[in-house]
Amino acid sequence: MSSASLAVPAESTRAQILRVARQLIQTRSYLGFSFQDLADQIGIRKASLYHHFPTKEALGVEVLREAGQGFRDWAAKPRAAEVALEAYFRMYRQAMKAGAAVCPAGALAPGWDCINEELRQTVRELRSTQVMWLTGVLGALVHDAKPPVSAGALAAYVFAACQGALLSARMTGRVEDFDEAIAQLRQSIPR
């Protein structure tokens, strides 16, 4: 077997665009970068971006669809409820880069009135996917809670708290702010 056959294939231009666009969305916000910024970071002409994505909105939709698929793949791993919830918190802390970035879907909220409906719907779908998964996980944890607890309402609360913790940590640049918020969140979940 030659060393050429062992070489890692080069990342496609489309994959580079999606990767860098996600980084920019998570660190600058969706409205905080242009196609020119993206082209400059990748080292291609701005016109080349339009070959892959006809609009910035189409690019945003694809970034969020990839994020949604990544979450569904991650969530499909079987875990006990307590382990799954802790893994969710770790995923937010590490994959979302607490203190240095925010969730790609959450990064679209500040410009909500400036984005098109397809992009808004993709954000809603990503939120819904996470809240539905959390509802199942939390339902297993709180099924005997006194007084009874709505797993769906608790799931929406956990999602919102994680988003807020990311945003707060981004403001300060301190991952510890995320950790402290999540520690309080853990304590507020009835068992």
Identify which of 130, 108, 116 has the alpha carbon closest to the alpha carbon of residue 63. Answer: 108
Residue 27, both tokens: 């660190």
Assess if residue 10 is contained within a domain.
no
pLDDT, position 191: 79
pLDDT-derived band at 6, boundaries 50, 70, 90: low
119 in any annotated domain:
yes
**pTM of whole model > 0.75?**
yes
- What helix, strand, coil percent values describe the chain, rounded to 5? 75, 0, 25
Q: Return the SS3 of 8.
A: coil
> Omega into 54 within 30° of 0, i.e. cis?
no
18 has pLDDT over 60: yes
Number of domains within the chain: 1
- Distances in whole angstroms, Cα of residue 109 to Cα of each of 13, 21, 102, 124, 161: 28, 16, 11, 10, 15
pLDDT score, position 7: 60
DSSP state of 48: H
Full domain range(s) for residue 98: 57-188
What pLDDT is stored for residue 9 in this prediction?
66
Rounded Cα distance between 130 and 136, Å, is 10
pLDDT digits (tens, 9 = 90+) for 135-173: 999 999 998 878 888 999 999 999 999 999 999 999 999
Q: What is the mean pLDDT of residues 21-27?
A: 97
- Looking at residue 52, what DSSP letter applies? H
101 vs 12: CA distance, rounded Å: 24
**What percent of the chain is modeled with pLDDT above 90?**
88
Does 17 map to a domain? no
Q: Indicate which CATH number applies to the domain containing 175.
A: 1.10.357.10
- Residue 33 included in any domain: no
Residue with the larger pLDDT of the pair 10 and 167:
167
What is the rounded distance in angstroms from the CA atom of residue 190 to the CA atom of residue 148?
9
pLDDT in tens, 60-112: 999 999 999 999 999 999 999 999 999 999 999 998 899 999 999 999 999 99
Q: What is the pLDDT of residue 152?
A: 96
Residue 26 falls inside a structural domain: no
